[in-house]
Amino acid sequence: MSFTPARGSQPPASPARARLAFGGDYNPEQWPPEVWDEDVRLMAEAGVDLVTIGVFSWAHLETALDDFSFEWLDDVLGRLSTAGIGIDLATATASPPPWLTALHPEMLPVTREGHRLWPGGRQGFCPSSPVYRERALVLCGRLAERYAHIEGLRLWHVGNELGCHNALCFCDVSAAAFRVWLRNRYGDLAALNHAWGTDFWSQRYTDFEEILPPRTAAAVANPTQELDFRRFSSDELLANFVAERDVLHEVSPGIPVTTNFMITGHVREMDYWAWAREVDLVSNDHYLIAADPEGYTELAFCADLTRGVAGGGPWLLMETSPGAVNWQPRNIARRPGELLRSAMQHVSRGADGILFFQWRASRAGAEKYHAGILPHAGTDTRIWRESLELRRVLDAVAEVEGSVVRNRVGILFDWQAWWACELDSHPSSDVAYLDRAQALHRSLTDAGVGVDLAHPEADLTGYDLILVPTLYSVTDTAVERLQVAVEGGATALVTYFSGIVDENDHVRLGGYPGAFRNLLGIRVEEFLPLRQHDSVELSNGWSADLWVEHLHLDGAASVATYVDGPAAGIPAITRHTFGGGSAWYAACRLDRAGCDELVGQLLKASGVAPVAVARPGVEVTRREAEDGRSWLFVVNHSDQPVEVDAHGVELLTGKDVDVRLAVDAGGVAVVRET
């Protein structure tokens, strides 16, 4: 991976030969130096070419206020350089050491209920803390000065999973920072009072100093206060990144700077569309949720979303686990072959490197049961062998480096809409933001169709099919972008509880979905959420649960109506010709079969063809280089072999493929297409 900065003016560190990175987090401070020797030897054996170092080293690097100790790190970095292993050097600011929080307990975060969170875990600091910022920048600067020019430095790694554990802090320091942020956003109180709807429940503010974070209140909090607090919190964390990045850019020009995102189904606090604009390279951490035997579908969604925030360009998988993790209720181990499949899912969707947490499994501490490339049991283990096999495969397909993924289908996705969608006191607490986005993504994947995740305010005119799942809040700009695309010929699908409010969480009046009524040619007078376990049938045989609506056609045609339930006889699925395109609406939560069939109709309507014809559980995707070369990836998650139409050279085996490519059960193939 060449680490071309994804954004900004920083030049790449140095030209590098095409190679997909392989490696992981390396925490040498947990082991005595004799182990370091073994580490470097085994890294060479495994083909590790990039390690992240120093993530949790603050306590070892600054052992007391302004008392720095770099010698041990000099030693380790020297060994790595000598061995030709690339370095992703962390700024070590992820977790402040005990001496610092003991000096400044006001740095510690505070929960919504008012509980101070004490040291003993990690990342225990208030994101708005000026003390934290000051000390982090001192450390970051010292590291940059010392190591900017060492051999093998390929990447700077700011903090770690910023916002993990401490994304929302409700302390007095945060309150003061929130007020500053609000002054910047609104200018004056009149604007804030309007946006927050403080005319309700006697909440009107007369002085910025009266404003607090949405701490636990006697009743449901003001929803716009909550929404702005989430925006503020994401911005505060990002500001910490930017401050460190600026130091690094100044002291260490030419080395790209990243921080590892957490684009995954269970983290939602950071608006990564905004974050991606600030990093030189998008990198992401992804861990499978073990409870779901088909968790690979969530991986595929997250990988596509990561590529989306990376602007379509290559990105880096900064962390995943070579085996089981330790923080889920039941930490299911990977099945044989799963490590390769997961890794190739990421590569097929734009990753140019696969790194793991962590190199060597810890023997102590809270994460000792998190797998490492080098397990507790040593190298005579399946995990070690499959890791080496992965390195071999990455080399075999190294030519894909720098290529991109281009799709004709886009799903609109917005963290801010996620926050707004899942606020309290909504019609049904069963409506989950990710639900429809992931369901539609899965139906497309099962149909062999690639899909991008796009910001609602992006230019959508390049897409033939645009899906708008549960996009509860939208700006006027986003509405306009979608209309322009449909007028220009695209097909769109909007699902229920989309376009209901503006960015202030104010209802768009006159009938739902206010933002899209015109586009969709419908008017909804009332939501009809269903009771738990209830479901309804549609006139075309599909089933749905959770949500139906009292809908009127206002230009649209009915595709299917409800046969029973509270909206019997009322249209459930509609289609509306709009300019040169058409806009569909799904007013209910279709089950998996219904979702598949709807997606099939939309693909037909929009003329989008699959990458290749496969079957559910088999991923078929394509990367394309600027020079016209392309690669077909097949990842077979099923327990049956599969055949796929392909022409070219299969890179793992080196064999020519004429017409049909056979992929074993659980197997992976990559074809350079001709």
Residues labelled catalytic:
161, 319
Chosen residue from 56, 273, 463, 578 binding its own copies by CB under 8 A: 56
Indicate which single residue of 532, 626, 639, 659 sits in contact with its own copies (rule: CB under 8 A).
Answer: 532
Shortest distance, position 459 Cβ to its own copies, whole Å: 30
Secondary structure (3-state) at 1: coil
In the region spanning residues 12 to 51, those forming contacts with its own copies, defined by CB under 8 A, are 27, 29-30
Note whether 397 and 669 are within 8 A (CB): no
How do beta strands 67-68 and 260-261 pair?
unpaired
* 101 or 284: CB nearest its own copies: 101
118: tokens are 């004490």
The residue within the footprint of its own copies, chosen from 375, 581, 594, 648 (CB under 8 A), is 375
CB closer to its own copies, 94 vs 599:
94
Residue with tokens 């900017």: 148
Q: Residues 307 to 366: which contact its own copies by CB under 8 A?
A: 323-324, 326-327, 329-333, 335, 361-366
Nearer to its own copies, 373 or 528 (CB): 528
Q: Which residues pair with 493 in a beta bridge?
A: 467, 584
| Among the listed residues 529, 571, 581, 594, the single contact to its own copies using CB under 8 A | 529
Tell which one of 447, 465, 528, 614 touches its own copies (CB under 8 A): 528
State which of residues 75, 199, 389, 664 lies at the interface with its own copies (CB under 8 A).
199
Crossing angle, helix 592-606 and helix 433-446, to 10 degrees? 60
Spatial separation of the C-alpha atoms in residues 320 and 370, rounded to whole Å: 10
Question: What's the closest the beta carbon of residue 599 comes to its own copies, in angstroms?
Answer: 27
- Evaluate the CA torsion angle 239, 278, 73, 377 in order and state its sign: positive
| 424 interacts with its own copies by CB under 8 A | yes
Q: Kindly identify the residues of this chain, within the stretch 586-615, that bind its own copies according to CB under 8 A.
A: none
Answer yes or no whether residue 214 interacts with its own copies by CB under 8 A.
Answer: yes
Q: Please tell me whether residue 566 binds its own copies under the rule CB under 8 A.
A: yes
Q: Indicate the pairing of strand 409-412 with strand 315-319.
A: unpaired
Asked if residue 461 binds its own copies (CB under 8 A), the reply is: no
From candidates 115, 266, 277, 592, binder to its own copies by CB under 8 A: 115
For its own copies, which residue of 7, 8, 130, 198 counts as binding (CB under 8 A)?
198
Tell me the one-letter amino acid at 441.
H
Which lies closer to its own copies via its Cβ, residue 221 or residue 409?
Answer: 221
- Cβ of residue 84: shortest distance to its own copies, in angstroms? 26
* 206 in contact with its own copies (CB under 8 A): yes
For 444-566, strand residue ranges (E) read 452-454, 465-468, 491-495, 522-529, 535-537, 543-545, 547-553, 557-561
Size of the site for its own copies (CB under 8 A): 119
Give the residue, chosen from 18, 44, 180, 217, that forms a contact with its own copies under the rule CB under 8 A: 217
CB closer to its own copies, 151 vs 526? 526
Q: Is 533 in the site for its own copies (CB under 8 A)?
A: no
Tell which one of 2, 91, 174, 224 touches its own copies (CB under 8 A).
224
Tokens at 499, concatenated: 């376009």
Name the β-bridge partners of 418: none
Which residue(s) pair with 476 in the sheet? none
What mask, x for binding its own copies by CB under 8 A, covers residues 277 to 296?
-------------xx-x---
Report how far residue 192's alpha carbon sits from residue 185's, in angstroms, rounded to the nearest whole number. Answer: 9
Per CB under 8 A, does 264 bind its own copies? no
Q: How far apart are CA 620 and CA 629, in angstroms?
A: 17
506 touches its own copies by CB under 8 A: yes
Q: Which residues ranging from 381 to 400 are in contact with its own copies (CB under 8 A)?
A: 381-383
Residue among 102, 180, 191, 613 that touches its own copies (CB under 8 A): 102
For the sheet with 351-356, list strands across it.
257-258, 153-157, 86-90, 50-53, 21-26, 351-356, 315-319, 283-285, 260-261
How far is 648 from 633, CA to CA, in rounded Å? 12
CA separation, residue 415 to residues 418, 461, 496 (Å): 5, 22, 18
User: Could you give the string, one character per residue 117-156, with x where binding to its own copies holds by CB under 8 A and - elsewhere?
Assistant: xxxxxxxx--------------------------------
Number of C-beta neighbours around residue 338 at 10 A: 18
Contact positions with its own copies (CB under 8 A) in 464-503: none
Distance CA 565, CA 588 (A): 12
